[in-house]
Chains A and B, each alone.
Chain A
Amino acid sequence: MIRLRDIEKSFNQGASQVFVLRRINLEVEQGEFLSIMGPSGAGKSTLLHLLGMHDGAWTGEYEFLGHPVHELNNKQRQDLQRRNIGFVFQSYHLLDDLTVYENLEIPLSYRGVKRSERQAIVADTLDRFQIVGKKDLYPNQLSGGQQQLVGVARALVASPRLILADEPTGNLHSDQGREIMELFKQLNEEGTTIVQVTHSDTNAAYGGRILKLRDGWIVD
Chain B
Amino acid sequence: MSATTGNGPLIQLQDLKKVFYTDEVETHALAGIHLTIDRGEYVAISGPSGCGKSTLLSILGLLDSPTAGTYNLNGQPVQDLDLSQRARIRNREIGFIFQSFNLIGDLTVFENVELPLTYRGMRASERRTRVAEALERVGMGHRGKHLPSQLSGGQQQRVAVARALVGQPSILLADEPTGNLDSKNGEAVMDLLHDLHQTGATICMVTHDPRFARHAERAVHLFDGQVVDEHTEDEASGTA
Residue of B nearest to A14 (CB): B145
Q: Does A202 sit within 8 A of B, measured CB to CB? A: no
Inter-chain contact A40/B181, CB cutoff 8 Å: yes
Say how far A38's CB is from chain B's closest CB, in angstroms.
9
List CB contacts (< 8 Å) of A1-49 with chain B.
11, 13-14, 16, 18, 39-41
0 or 1 for each of B173-195: is its CB under 8 Å from A? (1 = yes): 00000000111110000000000
Q: A39-B184, A39-B185, A40-B181 known; A13 and B150 CB under 8 Å?
A: yes
Q: When the two chains form the complex, which single residue of B142, B145, B152 contacts A41, counting CB atoms closer than 8 Å? A: B152
Q: Does B69 sit within 8 A of A, measured CB to CB? A: no
Q: Does B9 sit within 8 A of A, measured CB to CB? A: no
Q: When the two chains form the complex, which single residue of B142, B150, B182 contacts A11, counting CB atoms closer than 8 Å? A: B150
The answer for the CA separation of A13 and B150 in the assembled complex, in Å, is 9
The answer for the CA separation of A16 and B150 in the assembled complex, in Å, is 13
Q: When the two chains form the complex, which single residue of A13, A39, A40, A41 contacts B146, counting CB atoms closer than 8 Å? A: A13
Chain B residues in 8 Å Cβ range of A40: 152-153, 181-182, 185
Say how far B110's CB is from chain A's closest CB, in angstroms.
11
The answer for the CA separation of A14 and B146 in the assembled complex, in Å, is 8
The answer for the CA separation of A11 and B147 in the assembled complex, in Å, is 12
Say how far B218's CB is from chain A's closest CB, in angstroms.
31
Chain B residues in 8 Å Cβ range of A41: 152-155, 185
Say how far A119's CB is from chain B's closest CB, in angstroms.
42
Chain A residues in 8 Å Cβ range of B150: 11, 13, 18
Q: When the two chains form the complex, which single residue of A13, A14, A18, A39 contacts B182, counting CB atoms closer than 8 Å? A: A39
Say how far B65's CB is from chain A's closest CB, in angstroms.
37
Residue of B nearest to A214 (CB): B184
Say how far A20's CB is from chain B's closest CB, in angstroms.
9
0 or 1 for each of B149-163: is its CB under 8 Å from A? (1 = yes): 010111100000000
The answer for the CA separation of A11 and B146 in the assembled complex, in Å, is 11
The answer for the CA separation of A16 and B155 in the assembled complex, in Å, is 16
Inter-chain contact B154/A18, CB cutoff 8 Å: no
Chain B residues in 8 Å Cβ range of A39: 182-185
Chain B residues in 8 Å Cβ range of A11: 150
The answer for the CA separation of A51 and B129 in the assembled complex, in Å, is 44
The answer for the CA separation of A11 and B155 in the assembled complex, in Å, is 17
Chain A residues in 8 Å Cβ range of B184: 39
Chain A residues in 8 Å Cβ range of B181: 40
List CB contacts (< 8 Å) of B184-233 with chain A.
184-185
The answer for the CA separation of A82 and B143 in the assembled complex, in Å, is 38
Chain A residues in 8 Å Cβ range of B153: 40-41
Chain B residues in 8 Å Cβ range of A13: 143, 145-146, 150
Residue of B nearest to A41 (CB): B152
The answer for the CA separation of A13 and B149 in the assembled complex, in Å, is 12
Say how far B178's CB is from chain A's closest CB, in angstroms.
12
Chain A residues in 8 Å Cβ range of B146: 13, 18
Chain A residues in 8 Å Cβ range of B145: 13-14
Q: Name A's B-contacting residues (CB within 8 A).
A: 11, 13-14, 16, 18, 39-41
15 A-B residue contacts at CB 8 Å? A11-B150, A13-B145, A13-B146, A13-B150, A16-B142, A18-B146, A39-B182, A39-B184, A39-B185, A40-B152, A40-B153, A40-B181, A41-B153, A41-B154, A41-B155
A-B pairs, top 8 by smallest CB distance, nearest first, are A41-B152, A39-B182, A14-B145, A13-B146, A40-B182, A40-B153, A13-B145, A39-B184
